[in-house]
Amino acid sequence: MNFDSPRDSKKFTRYWDMFVPDIKDRPNLKASHLYQLQILCDLCVEYDDLKDVIDLIGRTITNSGGRNGDQVKLNPEVVQMNKVLIEIRNYSRMLGLLLVKDTKTNEEEEENEFS
């Protein structure tokens, strides 16, 4: 199986290179797992891009002049970033890339990869 990054993007490759060592030596690794990893890396890049935009424009929008006075709402980018974060957690869970404490009580979770 080829473990080279499928994209030329530096951001994407950074995430790919970070995750591949955690899964490449698994005995039950399939090509479909690499596709799931590709989606996870795309999501991480999207999260970084959204975070950069939010740092520029802020987390909230204030609408003034309405009947009820000023209204403070989340920017749509913040809502999208939260959705992307949920998807990152889902794909991380699917690939068995969740962070766990280094204790013996978590060994069962680590053995249950790609369930």
Residue 75's nearest CA partner among 61, 85, 62 is 61
Mean pLDDT on 1-9: 93
**Based on C-alpha coordinates, what's the Rg of the chain?**
19
pLDDT digits (tens, 9 = 90+) for 86-96: 999 999 999 99
Type of residue numbered 114: F
| Average pLDDT for 2-18 | 95
- Give the whole-angstrom CA distance, residue 7 versus residue 64: 44
Q: In this predicted model, what pLDDT tens digit does every residue of 22-67 receive, in sequence order?
A: 999 999 999 999 999 999 999 999 999 999 999 999 999 998 877 8
pTM of the model: 0.81
Tokens of 48: 């970084």
SS3 6: coil
Which amino acid makes up residue 90? N
Instruction: State the pLDDT at residue 103.
Output: 54
Q: What percent of the chain has pLDDT over 90?
A: 72
Residue 10 parent element (H or E):
helix 10-23
